[in-house]
A and B are shown apart, each in its own frame.
Chain A
Amino acid sequence: MWLPFLGLLLGLALGLLTDIQIPVVYENYLSIAVLAALDTIFGGIRANLQQVYDDKVFLSGFFFNIALAAGLAFLGVHLGVDLYLAAIFAFGVRLFQNIAVIRRILITKWEERHIKKGENTV
């Protein structure tokens, strides 16, 4: 479970140390892409905990979501409508839902273990 966190920290360290920057114009796209990627990760973790994880769904979701979000933002900029808000809203809601599901599953697992322990000692 700690390996993904290590990966996250490694990515953060690499990004901060190399001081890579993108033009300010593309800032919006990147922020949406970050949100989409986070959504994919938590979706993947949830799917894994529910034992419905699928490699294809996970990887295609990662790239497709990012592309779709950036595309929506791009379209929004050119149409003069803040379409990226739609992406932010959708991903935000899903993020919370996924995290809530993960939390419930973990709590259930923890309780089950607790009960088992109690039965063993009695």
Chain B
Amino acid sequence: MNKRIVIRITIVSFIVGLMIAVQYNTIQNPAERDTRDLWEIRQELSEEKKRHSELLSEIVSLKSIVNEYENDDKDNQAQILKNTVEDLKIRAGLEAVSGPGVILKIEPAMELVALGLEVESIPPDLLIRLVNEIYRYHGIYIEIDGQRLVHTSAIRDINGKTTINGFAINKSNVEIRVITESYEKAEKLYGYLYASTFSDDFYLDNLHLIINKPVTKLTIQEYDGKLSNTFLVENNKGE
């Protein structure tokens, strides 16, 4: 084949290759267009800022604990360690806690019962959704019908009965106690729950969800089961 012809064809095939690659790029990963407007971006920014400040305050509190450990003498260190253990116990749900919060009540809707409708147990799905929303809106500790919710708590249906931590809860007249960090947060939670569709959702199951005004102090009992720990082992050495 003539050398000149080969070079011509090579140049053209180079261009073809380039075109095919560009086409492939365009089809495989189309450039995503940013369609957010100024307000959406501002909103996202404010959420990130909130996260930022939360992380900063956490860092500050952890730093102060580290400082205490480093500066104080031996006796005090034991006390600090005890305090930390106590704090962790409270967070895990092994101690009773009290603080500002909201009390919710679930009761059968009397007018529907009078009509002859039967009261069924509270559907676990609805309860799970309620709990998730409470946690999302700054509820820290939750107790449902005397059952403290801990990280391993399961809300589920066992033989037609709604159970929490393996114990059946009342069919009706269930009290949900929620503790929040501050009274303001309790008010926020109250406002959110009041505006949410939960009342309607419960009414579909012939139940009334009563959301009481936030209170400055309420108490939640400790978890009375045993928390199993599969990762940490007690070390008796040096005691």
B17 touches which one: A10, A20, A53, A59 (CB < 8 A)?
Answer: A10
Contacts of A79 in B (CB 8 A): none
> Is B21 a contact partner of A16 (Cβ separation < 8 A)?
yes
Instruction: Determine the distance from Cα of A58 to Cα of B29 in the docked complex, in whole angstroms.
Output: 34
> Is A37 a contact partner of B15 (Cβ separation < 8 A)?
yes
Instruction: Determine the distance from Cα of A51 to Cα of B25 in the docked complex, in whole angstroms.
Output: 37
Q: B236 in the interface, Cβ–Cβ < 8 Å?
A: no
Q: How many residues of B contact A (CB 8 A)?
A: 29
> Is B26 a contact partner of A27 (Cβ separation < 8 A)?
yes
B21 touches which one: A11, A45, A62 (CB < 8 A)?
Answer: A11
A19 and B25 in contact, given A7-B13, A10-B17 (Cβ under 8 angstroms): yes
Instruction: Determine the distance from Cα of A85 to Cα of B140 in the docked complex, in whole angstroms.
Output: 63
Q: A14 in the interface, Cβ–Cβ < 8 Å?
A: yes
Contacts of A33 in B (CB 8 A): 19
> Is A7 a contact partner of B22 (Cβ separation < 8 A)?
no
B-side interface mostly = helix
Interface centre among B2, B4, B7, B26 (most CB of A within 10 A): B26
Instruction: Determine the distance from Cα of A41 to Cα of B8 in the docked complex, in whole angstroms.
Output: 10
Q: B30 in the interface, Cβ–Cβ < 8 Å?
A: yes
A8 and B14 in contact, given A21-B31, A55-B8 (Cβ under 8 angstroms): yes
Q: How far is the CB of B14 from chain A (nearest CB, A)?
A: 4
Contacts of A40 in B (CB 8 A): 12
Q: B5 in the interface, Cβ–Cβ < 8 Å?
A: yes
Contacts of B22 in A (CB 8 A): 15, 20-22, 30
> Is A37 a contact partner of B16 (Cβ separation < 8 A)?
yes
Q: B115 in the interface, Cβ–Cβ < 8 Å?
A: no
> Is A41 a contact partner of B13 (Cβ separation < 8 A)?
yes
> Is B23 a contact partner of A41 (Cβ separation < 8 A)?
no
Contacts of B15 in A (CB 8 A): 11, 37
Instruction: Determine the distance from Cα of A61 to Cα of B11 in the docked complex, in whole angstroms.
Output: 14
Q: A9 in the interface, Cβ–Cβ < 8 Å?
A: yes
> Is A44 a contact partner of B12 (Cβ separation < 8 A)?
yes
B16 touches which one: A13, A31, A38 (CB < 8 A)?
Answer: A38
B residues touching A (Cβ–Cβ < 8 Å)? 1-2, 4-27, 29-31
Q: List 8 A-B contacts (CB under 8 A).
A: A11-B13, A11-B21, A12-B20, A21-B31, A24-B26, A27-B26, A38-B16, A40-B12
Ranked nearest first, the 3 interchain pairs of A and B with the lowest CB-CB distance are A15-B21, A11-B17, A7-B10
A residues touching B (Cβ–Cβ < 8 Å)? 1, 3-16, 19-22, 24, 27, 30-31, 33-34, 37-38, 40-41, 44-45, 48, 53, 55, 58-59, 62
Q: A8-B16, A44-B12 are in contact. List 20 more A-B contacts (CB 8 A).
A: A3-B10, A4-B6, A7-B9, A7-B11, A7-B12, A12-B17, A12-B18, A13-B17, A14-B17, A15-B18, A15-B20, A15-B22, A21-B29, A22-B26, A27-B26, A30-B23, A34-B19, A37-B15, A37-B16, A55-B5
